[in-house]
A and B are shown apart, each in its own frame.
Chain A
Amino acid sequence: MMEKLLSPFRHLGALTINAIWRLGFASRFLLAILLNSGQSLLRFQLTIREVYFAGVLSLIIIVVSGLFVGMVLGLQGYNTLARFGSSDALGALVALSLLRELGPVLAALLFASRSGSAMTAEIGLMKATEQLEAMSVMAVNPIARVVAPRFWAGVISMPILAAIFNVMGIFGGYLVGVVMIGLDEGTFWSQMQNNVDLHYDVINGLTKSLFFGMAVTLIAVFEGYDAVPTASGVSSATTRTVVTSALVILALDFVLTAFMF
């Protein structure tokens, strides 16, 4: 009887301890990546290969989603602003919401689900098929050879993808606002230019995406490296990557916004 009553608490305790253990391991893992990245940056070819898989191949999803997000912002923003007779401010609305929040956050979410999950699956499968151990046997450090290039590729790709997302979103807003609805083109751009500040909006937004890039890639490579080396283990590690990344991106976004604006 007592055993039955206690078991939920015991389970909760085990979950908490496990989470803290994993957090500690992830921090140590980040340190190991940073210490071992000298080698991977010297052999930059490895990182370039990963930028291709993580960044270049994500371009289509980023471009298409950016375009549609901008178009939806244009439509919804126009409908709301027109009620208050200030549809002129549509350009500023679209640009500010994309640059400050939507661009970095949505690009990071898309990046996590497209490239982060792929990284986890790849590293997890390497672990399951004992390729990582084979590397260690051959005196090749798997963190320097496999993990660090992927980490830096994610950190490099994320701000670029966020900037492309922003540009496509603004273009989408322009398409809906100016081409479709017929707002004045000059007003659209001048309102945007009067209200967007280079340092405050553009650079802060890209700094955000740099942090998101680090967080997402760290989670992805960590989950892959830490995966249980079985088919189901890799699959649950991939799921955890997407879920944890999404939560961390949104939480980190709140913290960064509180600091920046």
Chain B
Amino acid sequence: MKRSTIDLWVGLFVAIGIAAVTFLSLKVANLTPQSDTNTYTLTAEFDNIGGLKVKAPVKSSGVLVGRVSNIALDTKRYVANVTLVLDSKYQFSRDTSAEILTAGLLGEQYIGLTQGGDMENLKAGDHITITSSAMVLEQLIGKFMTSFADKPATGSNAASASQ
């Protein structure tokens, strides 16, 4: 085989390789070039964020509107300070509420935004004041157990009646 033919094949090989890496970055890893111009940042405080992670989705009515960009503990008041980066296509009113929800029964956690009724919209750097914490399974079971323990008499009666 002549040199030039080999060059052609190797060039093709390298081109396919570059195409493969591009495909992996763009289509598989979803590397979308994000400029700061079409996003804005909001912060929200939660008593408990549960299993929320950085890069978790922020959804409104189930539609992806942004992502969690930072999570930090406020060491003065001991609450979690969550920074959200939202697409500037989506504007929310000042009394928007944020809650931490779970996709499916044991799925990943995300932040759900519910639009309020205020006429003015949140601006970049604003603070979401109405928040509700993540549902933590242990606390839920704990509440259930205490409410169950309030009426043990009926439970034992039912048990003896069935015997």
Chains A and B form a bound pair: yes
Give the interface of A toward B (CB within 8 A).
45, 48-49, 51-52, 55-56, 59, 86, 95, 99, 157, 159-161, 163-164, 166-167, 170, 189, 192-194, 196-198, 201-202, 206
Judge whether A163 and B27 touch: CB under 8 Å: no
The yes or no answer to B136 lying at the interface (CB within 8 A) is no
Judge whether A193 and B28 touch: CB under 8 Å: yes
Among A48, A86, A163, the residue within 8 A (CB) of B6 is A48
Judge whether B10 and A159 touch: CB under 8 Å: no
Closest A-B pairs by Cβ, 6 of them: A160-B17, A193-B30, A163-B20, A198-B29, A167-B20, A52-B6
Among B3, B10, B17, the residue within 8 A (CB) of A163 is B17
Judge whether B9 and A164 touch: CB under 8 Å: no
Judge whether B13 and A59 touch: CB under 8 Å: yes
Judge whether B13 and A201 touch: CB under 8 Å: no
Judge whether A163 and B13 touch: CB under 8 Å: no
Question: Given A170-B28, A196-B28, A196-B29, are A160 and B10 neighbors across the interface (CB < 8 Å)?
Answer: no
Chain A residues contacting B7 (CB-CB under 8 Å) are 48
The yes or no answer to B130 lying at the interface (CB within 8 A) is no
Chain A residues contacting B153 (CB-CB under 8 Å) are none
Q: A56-B9, A196-B30 are in contact. List 14 more A-B contacts (CB 8 A).
A: A45-B3, A48-B7, A52-B6, A159-B17, A161-B17, A163-B24, A166-B20, A166-B24, A193-B27, A193-B29, A194-B57, A197-B29, A201-B29, A202-B28
Cα separation A55 to B7 with both chains bound (whole Å): 12
**Would you call the interface of chain B mostly helix, strand, loop, or mixed?**
helix
The yes or no answer to B73 lying at the interface (CB within 8 A) is no
Give the interface of B toward A (CB within 8 A).
3, 6-7, 9-10, 12-14, 16-17, 20-21, 23-25, 27-31, 57, 104
Cα separation A56 to B27 with both chains bound (whole Å): 25
**Would you call the interface of chain A mostly helix, strand, loop, or mixed?**
helix
Cα separation A197 to B17 with both chains bound (whole Å): 19
Judge whether B10 and A202 touch: CB under 8 Å: no
Question: Given A45-B3, A163-B17, are A192 and B28 neighbors across the interface (CB < 8 Å)?
Answer: yes
Chain A residues contacting B17 (CB-CB under 8 Å) are 159-161, 163-164
| A55 (CB) vs chain B CBs: closest residue | B13
Cα separation A40 to B9 with both chains bound (whole Å): 20
Judge whether A160 and B31 touch: CB under 8 Å: no
CB of A171, distance to nearest CB on chain B (Å): 9
Chain B residues contacting A49 (CB-CB under 8 Å) are 3, 6
Among B9, B13, B16, B25, the residue within 8 A (CB) of A202 is B25
CB of A199, distance to nearest CB on chain B (Å): 9
Can you show 30 pairs from A to B with CB atoms below 8 A apart? A49-B3, A51-B10, A52-B6, A52-B9, A52-B10, A56-B9, A56-B12, A59-B13, A59-B16, A95-B28, A99-B28, A160-B16, A160-B17, A163-B21, A164-B16, A164-B17, A166-B24, A167-B20, A167-B24, A170-B28, A192-B28, A193-B29, A194-B30, A194-B57, A196-B28, A197-B29, A198-B25, A201-B29, A202-B21, A202-B25
Cα separation A191 to B21 with both chains bound (whole Å): 19
Cα separation A167 to B19 with both chains bound (whole Å): 10
CB of A67, distance to nearest CB on chain B (Å): 13
Cα separation A198 to B25 with both chains bound (whole Å): 6
Judge whether B10 and A48 touch: CB under 8 Å: yes
Question: Given A51-B13, A55-B10, are A202 and B3 neighbors across the interface (CB < 8 Å)?
Answer: no
Chain A residues contacting B3 (CB-CB under 8 Å) are 45, 49
